[in-house]
Chains A and B, each alone.
Chain A
Amino acid sequence: MCVPNGAQHAMNNGSDTQLQGHVDVAVIGAGPAGMAAATVCAEHGLNVAILDDQATPGGQIYRGITLASRKMREVLGPDYCAGDALVAPLLDGRINYMPDTAVWEVTRDKTLHLTQGGRSSSLQADYVVLSTGAMERPFPIPGWTLPGVMTAGAAQILLKTAGATAMGPVILAGCGPLLYLLAAQYLAAGTQIAAVVDTTGWSDYWRALQDGRGAASDISSLAKGLKLLRTIKKAGVPFFTNASNLEATGDDRVREFKFTSGGKVHCLAANVLLLHHGVVPNTQFTWSLRAPHEWSEQQLCWLPKTNAVGELDGASGIFVAGDGAAIIGAQAAAQHGRLIGIEISGRAGRLSAGARDEEVSRLNRRLNKTRQFRRFLDALYRPKAAHRVPADDVIVCRCEEVTAGALRNHVALGCLGPNQAKSFSRCGMGPCQGRQCGLTVTELIATVRGVEPATVGYFRVRPPVKQVTLGELAEE
């Protein structure tokens, strides 16, 4: 069982690996950023593979678009159809599109290890684009693990892929554009909403309006947002603001939703509770590559360090496109993907330096406007501290059922960071490998210790980033 002495430069990809193929560019994730990057590279004559763990393209934002009926498109709203133009190039043969394919490791020398239909294989690339997008920010409130409590994003996925809407009483709670969008989509589908419980309050508006320039940098988005809110109010949906003390209760599923708003405690019957307070970058690959990350106080999450063209710090040829680098939204994600595609095409000699620089600058100017507006949105819809670092009896690690109180005890016993906490409590050791608890753990430890999240750090993320069976691994 000994592995022969490795050389001083132990590479993750040993001579034993069967390389089943080589591409110029491997793109992981077929959302807007990935699709745009792949398309631009293919347009410049590069050999591109785009790998996605879903059965159809679009990522989460354009999920189900290749099967969406006219009625579905009406319900989902006009922005959804922007996905069509992005998806088309994946289906016309010039890009090697690999659906139902999960990448379980990416190495610094740009080898991808994948699993597809129960079989594991590997792919070597000259350039890698990580465009795994975002996921819902964990929302640890009492009762958040009860059946019937789901994310707003989950409800949108059910709508997009199965045309399904929640059965009432349905309550939407939290804050942020995605929550209001879902409400509008539900109304368009004829679904009755028992309540929208918004945690946004005066202090949030005040904070956001300090950045007037940010607000003004994208008037049309601002107008779109206001229109959504008007739609919800016009439909007569009970709308509560400045909500706090959120709590889901029930026996084997959610039955009631309690909250405080307007100085009163409310207790509403609930069959389905949809929570949302923002999305955060999915950073499993960037952490597993041991790339440096910075804590963003603005977005309250970890952002992989990249340069101005999206290249990962210290990992030449590996790029992070779209929401996976920082939350910028679907439209900007496509622009960012395009920018990275242009940069790669330039590096590969398919585009003159002049043309590349011009296009990169143009796209960066547009992206900077988006980033300006994003600052405003992040200020307005900043998730509440109580919903990021919960009370003692609230579960933090869903997989291993570790509570905030247990974690606080471990910090009191001397745990300085998430990895020590993990070894004392098993928090972060379950199948999701810290995706649902990582941010909470970092902020909880930071709060208890009285230091910055950047000082506390994050879980050590190890392969496999997606689960693979031992049998598959043995046969790879």
Chain B
Amino acid sequence: MMEEALFQPTLVSERPRIEIRFNGTPLEVPAGTSVAAALLVSGVAQFRTTPVGRSSRAPWCMMGVCFDCLLEIDGKPNVQGCMTAVKENMDVRTQWGAARYE
């Protein structure tokens, strides 16, 4: 990630780190945080594109009422990143437009 991250993990140096993947790239993130928080401190600034206008979105509210943090998590589309805790080996991907279910 070439650009500056939106957030940095200032106060959790003592937490254990776990590994998740974002669009295939491994990321080391603090355990016990939401997927949204983990991505924000790892330099991710685009979580999804909107189905209507293909606009880039990232979290707005962090409390589950805006649905801008939707991601594909472990194969499930349109999951709210701010309401999901990170887990070891979690596979997280950008939510491109509308959900696809198989």
Contact = CB atoms under 8 A, between A and B. Distances in A.
Interface in A128-164: 135-136, 145-151, 153-154, 157-159, 161-164
B64 A436 contact: no
B97 to A, nearest CB: 12
Contact of B65 (A54, A135, A145, A149): A135
A400 B52 contact: yes
Interface in A42-87: 53-55, 60, 67, 69, 71-72, 75
A284 to B, nearest CB: 9
A153 B41 contact: no
A162 B56 contact: no
Interface string B38-80: 1011000111001011011111111111111010000000100
Contacts of B59: 150, 154
A16 interface: no
A147 B6 contact: yes
Given A135-B63, A401-B52, A165 B12 contact: no
Q: Could you tell me the dominant secondary structure of chain B's interface residues?
A: loop
B55 A60 contact: no
A279 to B, nearest CB: 11
A151 B53 CA distance: 23
Contacts of A314: none
A351 interface: no
A154 B62 contact: yes
A150 B50 contact: no
Given A72-B11, A162-B9, A153 B33 contact: no
Nearest to A149: B60
A189 interface: yes
A54 B32 CA distance: 12
Interface in B1-35: 3-12, 14-15, 30, 32-34
Interface stretch (A172-180, A427-435, A439-447): A427-435
- Size range of the interface on A? 35 or more
B83 interface: yes
Nearest to B69: A154
B67 A189 contact: no
A19 interface: no
Given A55-B85, A164-B9, A147 B34 contact: no
B92 interface: no
B37 A162 contact: yes
A282 interface: yes
A191 B14 contact: no
Nearest to B5: A167
A161 B52 contact: no
Contacts of A431: 67, 70, 78
B8 A271 contact: no
A58 to B, nearest CB: 12
Contacts of A163: 9-12, 15, 30
Interface of B: 3-12, 14-15, 30, 32-34, 37-38, 40-41, 45-47, 50, 52-53, 55-68, 70, 78, 82-83, 85
Given A147-B46, A150-B58, 13 more contacts: A75-B11, A146-B56, A154-B60, A158-B7, A164-B11, A166-B7, A252-B45, A253-B58, A398-B66, A398-B68, A399-B50, A401-B50, A432-B66
Please name the 8 residue pairs, one residue from A and one from B, whose CB atoms are nearest each other, closest first: A163-B11, A147-B58, A163-B12, A154-B62, A162-B37, A431-B67, A162-B33, A157-B62
9 contacts: A147-B6, A150-B58, A150-B61, A162-B7, A162-B38, A163-B10, A399-B67, A431-B70, A431-B78
